[in-house]
Every structure is written in C-alpha cells, then in structure tokens.
Structure 1
Amino acid sequence: MLGPLGAQERASVARQCAWRRYREDEQIIDHMSDTHDVCFVVGGRVRVVMHSLSGREISFDDVDASGYFGELSAIDGKPRSASVVALAETHVAFMPPRLFREIVVGHPDIALSVMQRMAAIIRRATGRIMDLSTLGANNRVHAELLRLAKPALRADNTAEIVPIPVHSDIASRVSTTRETVARVLGDLARGGIVVRGGSGLVIRDYARLEAMVEDVRGE
C-alpha cells in the first residue's frame, strides 16, 4: 500500500508506527476491541477470524507479509469487526489511524489502492454468501478449492495449491466439518480431479471442478 511513497516518507511513517512481534497462535487484535490502528504484516502470516457463541471458529482471510488489516476501524472509528491471530511468528507495524487517514487523503493513488482492496473483499464476501445460501456442503468445499487454486491456474487446466490446505481451515471457511472436507477431498482424489503433490494439492482438472460447482449453482 505504501509503495507510492518516497524513501524519506516511508522512513518517516516507520518512525511513527509501533512495532511488535507475535508468537504463533497469539492474538493480535480482538473482535469488538476499541482500537483503531492499521496493522501492517512486516513478516509472518495472520488469519482474520470470528467465533460463534458455541466457540466455533469462522475464518475470513489470511494476510501474508506485505499485507495489512484493520483499516475499517481506522476509517469509521468503530470497534474491530473481527479478531486476528498470528499463524506463525509475525512482526507487525501499528500505524495510528490519524496517520493512515492523512496518507490516504494526501495520496489519491494510495486511496484508490485501499478502495480497490475493499472492493475485492466485498466481492469475495458476496460470493461466499451466495455459496452458503445456494450450495450444499460438498459443493462449498469444491468452490473453496477453486478460490484457492485460481491464482495458480495454468494454461494446461491444472493448478497447485501451496501449501496443502488444512482440512480444518477449509471447514472454517465454508461452514462445515473437517470430516466433510476429508470425505470430499477423498472423493475428488478417487475421481482423478485432485492429487497430493510434493508440496501442495494439485487440481488436475480445474474446468471439471468448476463445472461441478456451476452445475449446482445453475439449478
């Protein structure tokens, strides 16, 4: 996000941020907490989650190094809309909301970048709401595999998801159980659609998997 800033501007921003390291599974921000910093992932990886009243975890997104989160509270001044936990040892820079707003107002290209990111988040959320409303658990797993694989789609109709997705992670994203995810992946493997590779899960026939989801959506 800060790429358009010059070196001196970035150094000035860095001096105004608070820096902290987190261990794996350590919470970085808490849902409904009254903090408003924008958080930049300098190193490591984090997950944006919420928990139901029964304690079930619902996963929204993972943010890798060079990404950021927390901009909603910085913009509207309201409590956090979700919790964020570290997936590995993670280094985070906390930018004060005042500074974030100054940068966005003073740099239209950065403001556009923030808006484009929000638009992408809204589009993904809309797609998932539709999936939850129209697809059964099996096809929701199929749809999530498509989302994970799409950035790595190759010209030969294959794609590899790296690292291999954890069953519980997929389950938390599509509101189902780990057992269901394991069963669906087993069925896809027996059908020759997916196979475990050396470091990832290979989608051997992306178009076929996509058709399995679209056929149900079109009913």
Structure 2
Amino acid sequence: MVHKLGSTSVAEAPVIRKVIPGVSGILPLLPQDVSAQLFANAASRYLKADEALFRAGDAGNGCYVLNQGLLKVVISSPQGAERILAILGPGTVAGELSVIDGRPRSASVFAIKDCDLSFISKAAFEKCAQQHPEIYRYLVVVLAGRLRETSDAVAADSFLTVKSRLARALLELAKFVGDEEAHGRIVIRHKISQSDLAAMVGIARENLSRALSDLRGCKLVTRSMGYYCLNDIAALKRAALYTLALLSLIRIDTWGGFLNLIQ
C-alpha cells in the first residue's frame, strides 16, 4: 500500500507495481477437471473502457477471469492520487484472494479497454474446494509468486532511477498492446495517458515528463498520433537491465527469510 514517508508526499511514495503478463493467480494453475467445475456455472460480465469492475472496500463475493480486454488494479490516496498496482491482460484473474480469505477488496479494478469476463462466485469456489481440497496446494505457488513480485517491485521503486523504471513499464506494456513494425520498432496500440503511465511507474506526472524527455532525447521513445513508439528495444532493455541483477540479489535474501519462516 502507499504510505506517507516522513516529509515525502503521497504522490512520491514508493509503489508496489507489476504488469502481469500471460497468466496470473490460482485458477489458471488448476487441473482441467477442477477448472471445468469452477467454470461450469460462471456468469458472463462485460465492461466498457473506464468502467469499474469493483472498488476497494467492496465485499469479496467472487472472482473474475479476464477473457478479453485490459484491466488496471488501482489504489487511491485520501487526496485522490492514484497508483496502478498491476495491469491484467487476457487469462489473468482479478479478486481471487478475497474469495479465499473473505476480506473486502483491497484495491479497485477498472477496465482500460472493453472487457469480457467470467465471474465465479465465492460459494462456487468454496464448494469446489470442499470436493477438491488439493486446490489449496496451489495457494503456496500463488503466495510465493506474489512474494517474488513484491520484492521485485520494492527493489525497483527503491533503487532504480526513474528512467529505468519508465523503461520497464513501457516494455511490459508492450507485452499486452504492442505491435511490432519494421526494424524491431514496437508501437503501443493504446493511447495511455501520462497520468496512468506515471501511476504505473509510481512517480509524479512532472517527473514522468522529464524521464520521457530523456528517452525521447536518446531517440529510444517517440510519440505518433497519440501512441508511444519504442524505437530501440535492445537499448530500452539495457536501460532496465540493472533491475535483473539487483532483484536477483534481493530475491535471495527474501527467499531466505521466507524459508526460515516456514521451517
């Protein structure tokens, strides 16, 4: 979550953020027969862009599987500042932890693009878990993955430069809405606002503008007709490469503490 750190404003507080590619959460890991049982009575839900799927504090009455579209997971400060914790693409699950622990939603989820989802109720999940208690084994995998993502994000927000964090965010966005063109150039085919991009990186908008200017000055990123264009993927990866070495070291320490905890 976002906290006020000393004299640092909420807008500048470090943010745990992760753009999650492909598959995330417990449901996609389940055996086919268990997954089929869960989806047998799933209800369809459709969202228009900018529409809320649910809001922080809502009852955790079920979870959603995203079939098509793009979602953002958001927390807000009392002053109204937003932080994007994650972007979810097709195949990901939103809200499964509330189904498991019964607590209210800890964040809000909004559609970035029109979305097609399947809703699995808490009652259906619990009934399936009673018949297939092995479902809880997969929780260990989910919790371990979230611990890894959390340590990665804390390290990135604490130690990387704004330019490196922006490079990471743009590269990860490209996984979902990037179109490859000639000479390895990738166009992010979604007109993401500077406010959303700043909320992903975890910085104030004015700092984002300076970081974008740096990348544009190096010709690594340009903008055409409202779309961000990544002109040199290799150079952007080098800009974010320090992340890999740094996070590997921190992950070792984090996992050491985790193993001591469960022993």
- Scaled by the length of structure 1, the TM-score of the pair is 0.74
Q: Which residue of 2 aligns with 1:175?
A: 202
Distance 2:100 2:140 in 1: 12
- 1:73 is displaced (CA, Å) by 0.7
Q: How many residues align?
A: 211
Map of 2:213 onto structure 1 = 186
Query: Residues of 2 paired with 1:37 and 1:212: CA distance?
Result: 37
Q: RMSD over aligned Cα, in angstroms?
A: 3.8
2:238 is matched with 210
Kindly indicate whether the alpha-carbon contact (under 8 Å) linking 1:42 and 1:91 is maintained by their aligned counterparts in 2: yes
Aligned residue type for 1:90: C
Q: 1:64 aligns with which of 89, 92, 95?
A: 89
Distance 2:185 2:129 in 1: 36
Q: Pick closer, same or farther for the CA change 1:161–1:59 going to 2, 3 Å.
A: farther
Give 1:163's aligned amino acid: R
Aligned to 2:49: 24
Aligned partner of residue 65 in structure 1, secondary structure = coil
Does structure 2 retain, via aligned residues, the 8 Å contact 1:35–1:79?
yes
- In structure 2, how many angstroms separate the alpha carbons of the residues matched to 1:149 and 1:211? 16
8 A Cα contact 1:193 1:204, kept in partner: yes
Q: Distance in 1 between matches of 2:161 and 2:113?
A: 32
Other-structure match for 1:51 = 76
SS in 2 for 1:16: coil
Deviation at 1:42, TM superposition (A): 2.9
Distance between the aligned counterparts of 1:2 and 1:194, measured in 2?
36
Encode CA deviations 1:186-212: one digit per residue, 9 max, x unaligned: 322221333458975225153565357
For 1:193, the aligned partner's letter is L
List per-residue Cα deviations over 1:3-41 (Å, max 9, x = no partner).
8425x973x644522332222211111112122301112
For residues 190 and 59 of structure 2, the distance between their equivalents in structure 1, rounded to whole angstroms, comes to 36
The answer as to whether partners of 1:48 and 1:60 remain within 8 angstroms in 2 is: yes
Residue 148 (structure 2) pairs with residue 123 (structure 1): yes
CA distance in 2, matches of 1:140, 1:184: 9
Which residue in the other structure is 2:60 paired with? 35
Counterpart amino acid of 2:234? Y
What runs of 5+ residues in structure 2 fail to find an aligned partner?
1-27, 247-263
The unaligned stretches of length 5 or more in structure 1 are none
**Alignment pair present for 1:5 and 2:32:** yes
Contact 2:221 2:228 in 1 (8 A): no
Q: CA deviation digits over 1:153-192, x for unaligned, max 9?
A: x9xxx67363367332220012213333233223222213
1:144 to 147, 155, 169: 169
Give TM-score scaled by structure 2 length: 0.63
Give the Å deviation of 1:213: 6.3
Aligned-pair identity (%): 25
Question: Which residue is 2:100 aligned to?
Answer: 75
* Offset from partner CA, 1:29-86 (integer Å, 9 cap, x none): 1112122301112332221111011101110112223321111111111111111112
Supply the AA of the counterpart residue of 2:242. Answer: E
Q: Contact (CA 8 Å) 2:62, 2:99: kept in 1 or not?
A: yes
Larger RCO (CA within 8 A; separation ≥ 6): 2
CA distance in 1, matches of 2:100, 2:221: 42
Q: Is the 8 A contact 2:167 2:236 kept in 1?
A: no
C-alpha distance in 2 between matches for 1:208 and 1:78: 40
Partner of 2:256: none
